[in-house]
Structure 1
Amino acid sequence: MPDEAAPASMPALRRIGPRLPVGDWLGFLLALAGVLWLVARGAEGLGYNWQWYRVPVFLLSPQGGPGPLVYGLLVTLKLTALSGLGALAAGLLTVLIRLSGSLAGRALVRAYVEAMRNTPLLIQLLFLYFVLGPVLGMDAMTSAVLGLSLFEGAYVSEILRAGVTSIDSGQWDAARSLGMSRLASYRLVVLPQAVRRVLPPLASQSVSLVKDTSLASVIAIGELTLRGSAIVSETFLSFEIWFTVAALYWLVTTTLSILAARLERRLAYPT
């Protein structure tokens, strides 16, 4: 009887297998064609005079060096890197204090998290630069990095807290049985496991950070958005420049997502 049932199950296994990639590519191409058709119809109705041939000079100067948009992209990457490190530091410190036994410390970091998450980043940057900047001697770049670090750090702390609290209590017991201090338990046992679990939301937060750097333009940071705005004001190439700026942001965020996915697979299946 088992020998007779086995052949009957084979067609079912083939039916539930992965679809052929040809169908997926066909669906993608059809969706892309639909989007391009909508864009073309909208542009035709708008009556806009597209001048894409003027865009390359803003990416690569005639002398062969980077153009203003590339310079702005480099500033955006610098802001992202510095603010990302600051956000990780602020988030880790916040979650350690929040999970400690200090009532005053927990109340303080809770107030910080709520203040950062419930007020606009734009207002925070303006406050830091125009109010605290002159008092503390901070320039625009320092104010932008500090503001982005504190703002993103509040979200990072919640992500890390969720990861730490998801670790089974037996891991803490095992660390204590080996004579580890609380700090050593965090560093050697809890955080390595928590990072594996929170890597996807951290990657999503890093993508959000890249886009949030555009708000630094309000305090005269020459990042990608400010450079694009200046070019539009001079050339009136509104759609061409903003579409190019959006494509550069998309390139950076997609690269971050791919790197995070590879890191996630490496942590899940270490070689």
Structure 2
Amino acid sequence: MIPKRVKATPADLILLGGIGTVGTWLLYQAFLSADYHWNWQAMPQYLLRFDAQSGHWVPGLILQGLLVTLRLSVWAMLLALVMGALMGLLRTSCSRYWRMIGGGYVALIRNIPVLVWIFIFYYFIGDRLLPALGISTGNMRPDMPMAGALRLFVAAPSRAPVFISGVLALAAYEGAYITEIIRAGIQSIDKGQWEASAGLGFSRGQQLRYIIFPQALRRIMPPLAGQFISTIKDSAIVSVISIQELTFQGTELMAATFLTFEVWFTILVIYFVICLACALLVEHIERRLKRPSRAH
């Protein structure tokens, strides 16, 4: 079915004109009226710079922070998917005991401010959990085995413990929201699907694996992808525990150079481009999922 074209009304044009006027005025105030000397020519070196010693172009401080943000977001989302899938299954379990555990996890995380949660996890949970797992600053040395892979996929060995702590804290926080996405997806499947599969002799595990979850996956994929975008933005909060991601590098660079507006506008554009690219990818996935499959 071809969607109908929506025509712009006079009210829409007036609204767009008002938004354009306000935006133009804000840009005028920022770039012309404000008593601020812009220095954009200083910014490229903080994205890419030429290292005379190695003879190669190397990432600047902002690009280094971006790479840390992407690593942090990817690892946190992968762990959050595991936590969310497990707790989502508990939330839809037939056992009241398991439902209480899943519900308690969601209620605890979702009703704590994320900043408070990061501090609690870093100083009270991660500070005890990571050394018990053998992950500490004393054990992470530059000459340790797999140091190169650790530096590439996680962080420098000396920074790995705080990075892992930030990943776990962020994953636990995002996992609570993924739990509810998966719970809602499973419960959105008609009860007749459960009854029909039970009548065929399927166990509950087989029902979830072969009947329910494949149908729920089509419904939960778009919100899961949207949650990944939120994870990228929420990753900025771990700058408070000195993880050198994009926001942390922006704060340090602003304090050192006093290029306040240039630094934060650059970081704003970077976040916008990344999140917009993910949003367009989500939109493409939604169209693919809504497209009827062709019979072969």
Runs ≥4 residues deviating over 6 A: 27-30
- Aligned alpha-carbon RMSD (Å): 2.4
DSSP 3-state at the match of 2:250: helix
| Superposition deviation, residue 66 in structure 1 | 1.6
* Residue of 261, 269, 272 corresponding to 1:250: 272
TM-score of the superposed pair, with normalisation by structure 2: 0.78
Partner of 2:122: 129
Q: Deviations over 1:137-172 (max 9, x none)?
A: 252111111111111111111111111111111111
Q: Distance in 1 between matches of 2:251 and 2:85?
A: 36
For structure 1, the 5+ residue unaligned runs are: 1-15
Partner of 1:159: 181
Q: Which amino acid aligns with 2:29?
A: R
The percentage of counterpart residues that share the same residue type is 38
Partner of 2:40: 52
For structure 2, the 5+ residue unaligned runs are: 52-56, 136-160
Partner of 2:99: 106
Conserved in 1, the CA contact under 8 Å of 2:92 and 2:187? no
| Superposition deviation, residue 253 in structure 1 | 0.9
Partner of 1:223: 245
DSSP 3-state at the match of 1:61: strand
DSSP 3-state at the match of 1:200: helix
* Residue of 240, 258, 282 corresponding to 1:260: 282
Partner of 2:69: 76
Q: Distance in 2 between matches of 1:209 and 1:79?
A: 9
Partner of 2:145: none
Instruction: Report the CA distance shift for 1:17/1:109 in structure 2 as closer, same or farther (over 3 A).
Output: closer
Q: Distance in 2 between matches of 1:32 and 1:224?
A: 30
| Superposition deviation, residue 199 in structure 1 | 2.8
DSSP 3-state at the match of 1:158: helix
Q: Which amino acid aligns with 2:79?
A: G
Q: Which amino acid aligns with 2:33?
A: G
DSSP 3-state at the match of 2:59: coil
Partner of 2:54: none
| Superposition deviation, residue 18 in structure 1 | 4.6
The answer to whether structure 1 residue 88 and structure 2 residue 81 are counterparts is yes
Conserved in 1, the CA contact under 8 Å of 2:226 and 2:282? no
Q: Which amino acid aligns with 2:206?
A: A
Q: Distance in 2 between matches of 1:29 and 1:207?
A: 30
Larger radius of gyration: 1
Partner of 2:229: 207
DSSP 3-state at the match of 1:167: coil
Conserved in 2, the CA contact under 8 Å of 1:57 and 1:67? yes
Q: Deviations over 1:186-216 (max 9, x none)?
A: 1222122212223332233222111110011
| Superposition deviation, residue 232 in structure 1 | 0.4
Q: Distance in 2 between matches of 1:60 and 1:89?
A: 36
Partner of 1:142: 164
The answer to whether structure 1 residue 66 and structure 2 residue 59 are counterparts is yes
Structure number with the higher helix fraction is 1
Q: Distance in 2 between matches of 1:237 and 1:187?
A: 54
Between 257-266 and 209-218, the greater mean CA deviation after superposition: 257-266
Conserved in 2, the CA contact under 8 Å of 1:125 and 1:143? no
Between 68-77 and 122-131, the greater mean CA deviation after superposition: 122-131
